[in-house]
Amino acid sequence: MALSRTAWIGAGVGVRLLMIAVLIITVKVTIANENKYSWDGVADGFFKLRSYSYVPVYLLHTTLKALILTVMLRSAYMIAASVMGVAGNLLQIPVAFYLLLKSKRMTPSALILDISMYADVVITGVLATSVGAGFGATVDLLWYVDHVVFTDGDTTRKKYADYYSKAYVPLAFLVVGMVLSMAATVVSARLRARAANHVPDDV
Determine the pLDDT at residue 105: 54
The mean pLDDT values, 10 residues at a time, for the chain of 203 residues are 74 92 91 62 44 46 62 79 94 84 63 87 94 84 77 74 82 94 92 69 49
Residue at 126 is within a domain: yes
Residue at 202 is within a domain: no
In the chain, DSSP assigns E strands to: 34-38, 46-50
pTM for this entry: 0.77
Residue at 146 is within a domain: yes
- Phi, then psi, of 144 in degrees rounded to 5: -70, -40
Number of domains in the chain: 1
Domain that holds residue 33: 5-196
Residue at 201 is within a domain: no
Going by their DSSP bridges, the two strands 34-38 and 46-50 should be labelled as: antiparallel
Residue at 99 is within a domain: yes
Residue at 52 is within a domain: yes
- Number of Cβ within 10 Å of residue 159's Cβ equals 18
Residue at 203 is within a domain: no
